[in-house]
Amino acid sequence: MEPYDAFDAIDPFTAATRAFDCLKGALAGPESAALSHHELEDLVGLQGRELLRLLFQAHLDLREKREREQLLQTKDQVVRGADGHVRPHHETGHSRLLACVFGTVTITRCAWRGKGQSSVHPADAELSLPAHLHSHGLRRLAVLEAVRGSYDQAKEAIDRSCGRVLGKRQAELLVVAAAVDVDDFYRCTIPHPSTAATALVMQVDGKGVVMRPEALRPATLKAHLNGRRALRTRLAPGEKPHRKRMATLACVFDTDPAPRRPHDVIAPPEGRSTTRTPRPGPRAQRKWLTASLVHPPEHVIAAAFDQAEARDRDHLRDWIVLVDGARHQLELIRAEADRRHIKVHVLLDFVHVAEYVWAAAHCFHKPGTPDAEVWVAAHLTTVLHGQADRAAAEITAEADRAHLHGTRRESADACVRYLTGHLDQLRYDTALAAGWPIATGPIEGACRHLIGDRLDITGSRWGLDGAEAVLTLRALIDNGDFAAYWRHHLAREHERLYPTPDQHNYDLTA
């Protein structure tokens, strides 16, 4: 006579079946006929989520049942742990909780033990369970919600869709943990190939983020603690609160050449001809962003060069670097290019040049007048022709003729110093003829999007780990790589938690 198996009498899906019948009865009953569509949505959403949780729980219970059945059938089963040592003894009924996108479920499994050794749970490896409470699906949802809005908003969104399964502080920790494999992911990623005619563009910029005092750099923290204010109730003009830590951002993209002439960028004083439309400028393609608050600027610039070299290993393409004129950035870029023996064409952002010229124009003409606009157009056209030194000489001569002195001449002198100090980065005639970009729109947009729209929201003050994780993940998402990264991250997480060559994490021996 076959022994009675109690497991056959238990159907793990009984509770889920009853929940489905209850929901079906509620929808088929006469009471539901009086409900509006949004009330039906609420009913199905609430009871449907509980049904999904019960189905998930039932599957987990079924796997536990099959594991126990296997133990009854295989008397001499032995499990080997990650350390290679055998765990000869087993105990059933070991349970743990898992918070998932449907709610919280209980996972019951068998533990294998040996004297003086940690327990091994083969079912954990088969399910690829996380080390802590929250499932990978819930972690993914927390990351996507937290990097686009405040943590309070992320928690509210998760509560609406999943129930109360995640706290605000837990969401912060999950975001930090989710970003640990980004650098490794990009080291393994092969960029899209391009032809030698496609220009390779790099742009670098910096933007400050308001930090908690302990997250500031030592010099900034010292200035923050020792700063003496001229006024008690507010900052005086020119004073800084020293609450920000500078983030460095870099952008790499491909662009097909789009040759232009100066009048395609700046309309002549007499206006453009109606017979010819301006030629469009080059467009950024396959844009890649990186940013960091933790690492120094030279690290971020080196990462941008790594990405560029991955796209052009033989250095066959034109490399263009666009900056805003910060001397420190220029020195780091040239040092990195020299270290790699790469020829780069460094250009100043034309928009920054235009701002200096506009400020100088107000030394000679009233702001907002047509004369000021004509003056600016004439000098910027000269700069676009690659004759920035001539434009500087003309501005100086005009200031001398107008007998400008002191504060009336400050902006004109600042413009002249800016132009003469960066002559080798103002070869716009070469850039326009070759069809290269001359403005830093992509990196300026990245500063506004990556930092301004999230890290710079009203009232936010950041710790270093949390700010770095959010900044890194926002750049990853903006690159369009999140789905691929998440698969990579889960694979690495599995390797860290269950480090054995065998994917099943255990050996069966007879």
User: Which residues neighbour 488 within 8 Å (Cβ) at sequence distance 6 or greater?
Assistant: 181, 184, 185, 188
Rounded distance between C-alpha atoms, residue 304 and residue 297, angstroms: 11
Considering only CA atoms, give the Rg of the chain: 32
pTM of the complete model: 0.86
User: Which residues neighbour 207 within 8 Å (Cβ) at sequence distance 6 or greater?
Assistant: 246, 247, 249, 447, 451, 452
Type of residue numbered 259: P
For the chain, domain boundaries: 6-19+36-129, 194-226+239-452
**What phi and psi, each to the nearest 5 degrees, are found at residue 28?**
-90, -15
Rounded distance between C-alpha atoms, residue 411 and residue 361, angstroms: 8
What burial letters (b/e) apply to 178-208, b meaning 16+ CB within 10 Å?
bbebbeebbeeeebeebeeebbbbbbbbbbb
Q: Are 384 and 266 in contact (CB under 8 A)?
A: yes
Rounded distance between C-alpha atoms, residue 320 and residue 344, angstroms: 6
Query: Which residues of 72-221 form beta strands (DSSP E)?
Result: 79-80, 86-87, 89-100, 103-113, 199-210
- Quick one: pLDDT at residue 3? 43
Rounded distance between C-alpha atoms, residue 324 and residue 326, angstroms: 6
Type of residue numbered 279: R
Of 308, 329, 310, 306, which Cα lies nearest the Cα of 319?
308
411, β-bridge pairs: none
Note down pLDDT in tens along the chain; length 510 residues: 344 444 445 789 999 999 999 999 999 988 888 899 999 999 999 999 999 999 999 999 999 999 888 888 877 777 877 777 888 888 888 999 999 999 999 999 998 888 878 888 889 999 999 999 999 999 999 999 999 999 999 999 999 989 899 999 999 999 999 999 999 999 888 888 888 999 999 999 999 999 998 888 888 878 777 766 656 666 666 566 778 899 999 999 999 999 999 988 987 766 666 667 888 989 999 999 999 999 999 999 999 999 999 999 999 999 999 998 888 899 999 999 999 999 999 999 999 999 999 999 999 999 988 899 999 999 999 999 999 999 999 999 999 999 998 889 999 999 999 999 999 999 999 999 999 999 998 999 989 989 999 998 888 899 999 999 999 999 999 999 999 999 999 999 999 998 864 544 444 333
Rounded distance between C-alpha atoms, residue 256 and residue 198, angstroms: 5
Identify the residue whose tokens are 């890290």: 455
Of 172, 135, 165, 166, which Cα lies nearest the Cα of 151?
172
Residues in the chain: 510
